[in-house]
A = this chain, B = another copy of it.
Amino acid sequence: MIEYSKAVEIILNSTKTLGLEKVFLDRALGRVLAEDIHADRDNPPADNSGMDGFAVRYEDIKGASEENPAVLEIIAESKAGGELVKVRPKTAAYIYTGGLIPEGADTVVQKELTKVEDNKVFIFQELPKGSNIRPQGGDYRKEDLLIKKGKKLRPAEIGILSSVNKPTVYVYQKPRVAILTTGDEILDVGEPVEKLSQIRTSNTYSLYSQVLEAGGEPVVIGFAKDNPEDIQKKLEYAKSCDILLTTGGVSVGEYDLVKDFVVKVLGVEILFWKVKQKPGKPVAFGVWGREKEKLFFGIPGNPVAAMVVFENMVKPAIRKMSGEEKVFNPVINAKLKGGYKRKKGERVEFIRVSLSLTDDGFVAQPFGKQGSNILTGMVYAHGFGIVDVGVTEIKDGETIKVSVFDKSFMDGRYGD
Contacts and interface: CB of A to CB of B under 8 A. Distances in A.
Interface of A: 12, 25-26, 29, 41, 44-46, 48, 50, 52, 79-84, 96-100, 111, 134, 139-140, 146-147, 151-152, 154-167, 183-186, 189-190, 193, 195-210, 212-213, 226, 251-255, 301, 303, 307, 316, 320, 325-333, 357, 359, 361, 373-376, 378-379, 381, 404, 406-408, 410-414, 416
A-B residue pairs, 3 tightest by C-beta: A159-B206, A81-B185, A328-B412
B147 A379 contact: yes
Most central of A50, A159, A202, A381 by chain B CB within 10 Å = A159
Contacts of A379: 146-147, 151, 156-157, 160
Contact of A196 (B84, B163, B408): B84
A316 B416 CA distance: 13
A200 B147 contact: no
A111 B253 CA distance: 10
Contact of A408 (B52, B202, B326, B376): B326
Contacts of A29: 209, 212-213
A99 B357 CA distance: 43
A410 B111 contact: no
A108 B184 CA distance: 21
A357 B332 contact: yes
7 contacts: A25-B189, A25-B209, A45-B197, A79-B253, A82-B195, A96-B253, A98-B183
Nearest to A415: B12
Given A332-B410, A412-B330, A416-B328, A185 B80 contact: yes
Contacts of A147: 379
B163 A46 contact: no
A413 B328 contact: yes
B190 A159 contact: no
B48 A139 contact: no
Given A82-B197, A183-B80, A25 B159 contact: no
A111 B320 CA distance: 40
B79 A326 contact: no
Contact of A413 (B226, B326, B404): B326
Given A166-B189, A190-B165, A410-B404, A203 B159 contact: yes
Given A46-B196, A154-B209, A161-B205, 20 more contacts: A25-B205, A25-B208, A41-B193, A79-B226, A80-B197, A81-B195, A81-B198, A82-B195, A83-B197, A98-B185, A111-B252, A139-B374, A155-B307, A156-B375, A159-B202, A162-B201, A163-B202, A167-B189, A328-B412, A330-B407
